[in-house]
Chains A and B, each alone.
Chain A
């Protein structure tokens, strides 16, 4: 695991769930971690929404000042720069969806270019706009152009939300393999809930179990 971990992907790929879980994993492994909610696209369902759980677990959350409020302002806090100056703390940058979200990442290129960062591209093969290799590669390239950063690894997070089955995930392996070969990028993780992963033969790819944080208001009796 590298110190700086950038999470990108199509919106709806499950980036945020992966980012939150990755930050918790970093904390567990290295004793500290920071996560930056850099989403300037989505008004709801974002890392900021899990601030409570993250803080309770000792992960510092840096989010736009107005995240979760009624001010729909695409601004990022200057505190994000602390990720680059505080070189002891592992960090996750949760970037907004598509190239629109990746533009926000581009401004940190001067800091990132000298860092040995990991930039994940999260794929959900059940999203209609990322259900074939050509569309996925086109989007991945758009994200790279917009952010001026290089994707270094793929994450297969194929899911259909609450009706996901191990079969849905297994069906996507061929697709993500094709992307991996054509882009010459490794598939670093296959991520899903522990129940689905336990029924999945990941063909040697490391399994990354996800605890889900983004809940709908009617999901559970809380």
Chain B
């Protein structure tokens, strides 16, 4: 297409999925994600795809399991409480090595929480969520354009490594509008889905999609083989943005909407004479540990300031990355409150001292 259009995050994400070849969407509406479902409901029938509003999130994720097992590109989307309901299915999907894309447009929690933006599902997304030895690849866009670009990548990563991939945005990214451009994508280099239950055509042995194993050794072998794929993902798929981190006294660490607010604060802090940089993780899992090595390569006399819309979840990975070599601080707002550039600047001034 090439031309820029103005789109809401949720609908741009849905359009990007369709352009990436997703023809099957199973979901259940929930604010602030509903426009993804609404867009799919309008568009899928026009292009021969399937949109199905399931009776619950539990059903929707199991439909994703089935469709993904048959080898098609499939997506579901929800917001925090709905993603909690999907966790059993996500674990089964991971356990059966089924690629799919799961979108979480995060709102305040726990419980029903609220409908305003939040980032308090970081633990759930990156540290398990469901049961068992598995990981989700978690992609965290910070603009509508990046949301579009990462949606295409999410399907490719899922197909390449046979794993579920999550796109995690906050409510602000779902609801806000920005200009976007859809680029042509090419999925031709991806492997054939020889494992899919798409019919044998009497030409091959039947495939089975399953996460139950009778023999412990068989399960262990599969978990070990899957771990090797996770190791490959850690090697190949880490993404981040790092700006001015080597010479900074204070390195902000933020993702999604919060990273853009942090950048506004960073610009103001620089005007005031503070040496500030930023690490913006784009993959939350795998976490971009190498960005921290870069930031610590010249000296360790610096403070890493994690800024989140939560009570401090990613900050635990920041501490792991820093591993005691430098100071780590945290600033967050929660419950659906979005931090302001001013608040972040005040924290920078508190850490950096008066200028």
Which A positions have Cβ atoms within 8 angstroms of B?
Answer: 11-12, 42-45, 70, 72, 124, 126-128, 131, 159-163, 216-222
B228 vs chain A, min Cβ distance (A):
40
Which B positions have Cβ atoms within 8 angstroms of A?
Answer: 4-8, 15, 31-32, 108, 113-116, 171-172, 175-179, 257, 260-261, 263-265, 267-268, 336, 338-342, 345
Contact of A128 among B7, B172, B175, B261 (CB under 8 A): B7
Which residues does chain A contribute within 8 Å of B32, judged by CB atoms?
Answer: 43-44
In the complex, the answer to whether B113 meets A44 with C-beta atoms within 8 Å is no
Which residues does chain A contribute within 8 Å of B339, judged by CB atoms?
Answer: 217
How far, in whole Å, are A217 and B15 apart by their CA atoms in the complex?
A: 25
A160-B6 CB under 8 A given contacts A72-B115, A218-B263, A222-B340 = yes
B18 vs chain A, min Cβ distance (A):
12
Contact of A45 among B115, B175, B178, B341 (CB under 8 A): B175
A218 vs chain B, min Cβ distance (A):
4
- Quick one: closest A residue to B341, CB to CB? A221
Which residues does chain B contribute within 8 Å of A45, judged by CB atoms?
Answer: 175-177
Contact of B261 among A43, A126, A217 (CB under 8 A): A217
In the complex, the answer to whether B6 meets A70 with C-beta atoms within 8 Å is no
In the complex, the answer to whether A163 meets B340 with C-beta atoms within 8 Å is no
Which residues does chain A contribute within 8 Å of B7, judged by CB atoms?
Answer: 12, 127-128
In the complex, the answer to whether B268 meets A221 with C-beta atoms within 8 Å is yes
A218-B260 CB under 8 A given contacts A70-B115, A161-B178 = yes
In the complex, the answer to whether B179 meets A163 with C-beta atoms within 8 Å is yes
Contact of A12 among B8, B114, B336 (CB under 8 A): B8
In the complex, the answer to whether B257 meets A217 with C-beta atoms within 8 Å is yes
A50 vs chain B, min Cβ distance (A):
16
B187 vs chain A, min Cβ distance (A):
22
Which residues does chain A contribute within 8 Å of B8, judged by CB atoms?
Answer: 11-12
Which residues does chain A contribute within 8 Å of B340, judged by CB atoms?
Answer: 217, 222
B119 vs chain A, min Cβ distance (A):
13
A126-B4 CB under 8 A given contacts A43-B115, A70-B336, A218-B263 = yes
B96 vs chain A, min Cβ distance (A):
35
- Quick one: closest B residue to A70, CB to CB? B114
In the complex, the answer to whether B6 meets A127 with C-beta atoms within 8 Å is yes
Contact of B175 among A44, A72, A222 (CB under 8 A): A44
Which residues does chain B contribute within 8 Å of A218, judged by CB atoms?
Answer: 257, 260-261, 263-264, 341
B227 vs chain A, min Cβ distance (A):
38
A217-B338 CB under 8 A given contacts A12-B8, A124-B6 = yes
Which residues does chain A contribute within 8 Å of B177, judged by CB atoms?
Answer: 12, 45, 161
How far, in whole Å, are A220 and B4 apart by their CA atoms in the complex?
A: 23
How far, in whole Å, are A12 and B35 apart by their CA atoms in the complex?
A: 12
How far, in whole Å, are A45 and B9 apart by their CA atoms in the complex?
A: 13
Find the residue from A70, A127, A131, A219 having the highest chain B CB count within 10 A.
Answer: A70
- Quick one: closest B residue to A42, CB to CB? B175
Q: List 11 A-B contacts (CB under 8 A).
A: A11-B8, A44-B116, A44-B171, A127-B7, A163-B4, A217-B340, A218-B264, A220-B264, A221-B264, A221-B267, A221-B268
- Quick one: closest B residue to A217, CB to CB? B338
In the complex, the answer to whether B6 meets A159 with C-beta atoms within 8 Å is yes
B290 vs chain A, min Cβ distance (A):
26
How far, in whole Å, are A69 and B342 apart by their CA atoms in the complex?
A: 23
